[in-house]
């Protein structure tokens, strides 16, 4: 049996033991610095959280990468061998008695070689790099990988041209009116890849709502419960969530599942700092599964709209006037103003 220590940034926060790739025990230590999902988890519950942190194996590029580096597709083994490192949060793990500070664990030049392997599907002699943390992606339906460019980390995603256009243009509109939205940009002439800038500051981590919901008495996926839970955090959280809901309704985004929104927390205190920005709109507007825009979601949402929703819709409508790509959304919103 091998004992591991779980770290948040460089602080030990829990211990766990592994026997033949099976988590045998999990012992929380600093619960205030743990994700809500595992604050009081059993070994089985911790295993579920740990396996979500393994490199996603849905895409052939990711599977090839893992075969090239490790010769295994076992998610528990992969999570442990990559130290559970992720660009989007601050958790790592090491065998007891060994440790590497997080900032030294992922070197940009090594990670960019991993990204080239994924984006180009080519052999870049990864074995020679001996990289410890090939952070391709932790989950999702699309091939993704992080690259360090222009002094920052960017998440690259391979997808259809329609998905890329929806994601970039919706992001631009939301950011222009001052709403909190992740920054997206086109990458390449074909527009079959998009990149988004890391929205975390130092010593912050993103916790998806799928994990954060265990903070509340009602952790269900009921829409009313989610709204009440987020509103209970304060007016800033409520306003930010209402903006995400309205944007989803207006742009017909049907993919706002519980891992596509969440909160940003301090890695040093565990405090909840703010709602994460609006991100992942690659199945919205003309990129939705039907391939055509429908105002149905907006019509349903506006049946219960309040004054805050009306003010948000007016703000969006004004910006959409000069945006040809989003003309259908503009026309749909006009009937309510």
Residues 6+ apart with CB under 8 A from 37: 45, 49, 210, 211, 212, 214
Residues 6+ apart with CB under 8 A from 330: 317, 320, 321, 323
Phi/psi at 127 (5° precision): -60, -30
Are 212 and 185 a contacting pair, CB within 8 Å? no
Q: Which fold has domain 203-334?
A: 1.10.1070
Edge to edge, the sheet with strand 91-95 lists 22-28, 11-19, 2-8, 91-95
DSSP, res 200 = P
The confidence score (pLDDT) of residue 163 equals 94
Residues 6+ apart with CB under 8 A from 153: 87, 146, 147, 197, 198
The confidence score (pLDDT) of residue 123 equals 47
The confidence score (pLDDT) of residue 223 equals 96
The confidence score (pLDDT) of residue 124 equals 46
Structure tokens at 235: 């007016």
The confidence score (pLDDT) of residue 224 equals 97
Q: What is the mean pLDDT of the chain?
A: 90
Give per-residue pLDDT as tens, 22-75.
Answer: 999 999 999 999 999 999 999 999 999 998 886 666 667 667 777 766 676 788
The confidence score (pLDDT) of residue 57 equals 67
The confidence score (pLDDT) of residue 107 equals 84
The confidence score (pLDDT) of residue 277 equals 98
Cite the beta strand spans of the chain per DSSP E. 2-8, 11-19, 22-28, 91-95, 144-149, 152-158, 184-186, 193-197, 204-208, 262-266, 272-275
Give per-residue pLDDT as tens, 308-333.
Answer: 999 999 999 999 998 999 999 999 99
- The number of beta carbons lying within 10 Å of the beta carbon of residue 320 is 22
Are 140 and 171 a contacting pair, CB within 8 Å? no
Parse the chain into domains and list their residue ranges.
Answer: 2-153, 203-334
Blockwise average pLDDT, block size 10, the chain, 337 residues: 96 95 95 97 94 73 70 81 89 95 86 79 50 55 84 92 96 98 91 93 96 97 97 98 98 94 97 97 93 95 97 96 95 95
State how far the Cα of 244 lies from the Cα of 279, in Å rounded to an integer. Answer: 9
The confidence score (pLDDT) of residue 58 equals 67
């Amino acid at each position: 049996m091998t004992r591991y220590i779980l770290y948040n940034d460089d602080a030990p926060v829990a211990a766990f033991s592994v026997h033949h790739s099976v988590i045998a025990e999990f012992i929380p230590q600093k619960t205030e610095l743990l994700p809500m999902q595992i604050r009081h988890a059993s070994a089985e519950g911790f295993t579920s959280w740990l396996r979500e942190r393994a490199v996603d194996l849905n895409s052939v590029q990711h599977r090839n990468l893992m075969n090239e580096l490790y010769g295994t597709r076992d998610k528990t083994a992969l999570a442990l061998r990559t130290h559970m490192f992720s660009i989007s949060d601050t958790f790592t793990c090491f065998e007891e008695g060994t440790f590497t500070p997080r900032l030294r664990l992922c070197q940009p030049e090594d990670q960019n070689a991993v990204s080239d392997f994924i984006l180009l599907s080519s052999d870049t002699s990864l074995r020679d790099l001996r990289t410890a943390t090939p952070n391709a992606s932790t989950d999702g339906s699309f091939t993704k990988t992080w690259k360090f460019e222009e002094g920052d980390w960017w998440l690259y995603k391979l997808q259809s041209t329609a998905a890329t256009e929806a994601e970039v243009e919706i992001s631009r509109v939301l950011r222009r009116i001052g709403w909190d939205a992740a920054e997206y940009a086109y990458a390449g002439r074909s527009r079959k890849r998009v990149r988004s800038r890391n929205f975390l500051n130092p010593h912050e981590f993103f916790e998806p709502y799928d994990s954060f919901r265990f903070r509340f008495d009602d952790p269900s996926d009921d829409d009313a419960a989610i709204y009440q839970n987020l509103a209970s955090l304060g007016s800033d959280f409520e306003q930010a969530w209402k903006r995400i809901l309205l944007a989803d309704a207006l742009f017909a985004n049907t993919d706002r599942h519980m891992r596509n929104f969440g909160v940003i927390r301090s890695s040093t205190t565990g405090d909840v700092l703010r709602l994460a920005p609006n991100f992942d709109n690659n199945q919205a507007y003309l990129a939705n599964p039907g391939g055509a825009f429908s105002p149905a979601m907006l019509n349903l949402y506006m049946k219960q709209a309040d004054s805050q929703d009306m003010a948000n819709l007016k703000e969006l409508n004004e910006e959409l006037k000069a945006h040809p790509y989003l003309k259908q959304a503009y026309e749909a919103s006009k009937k309510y103003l």
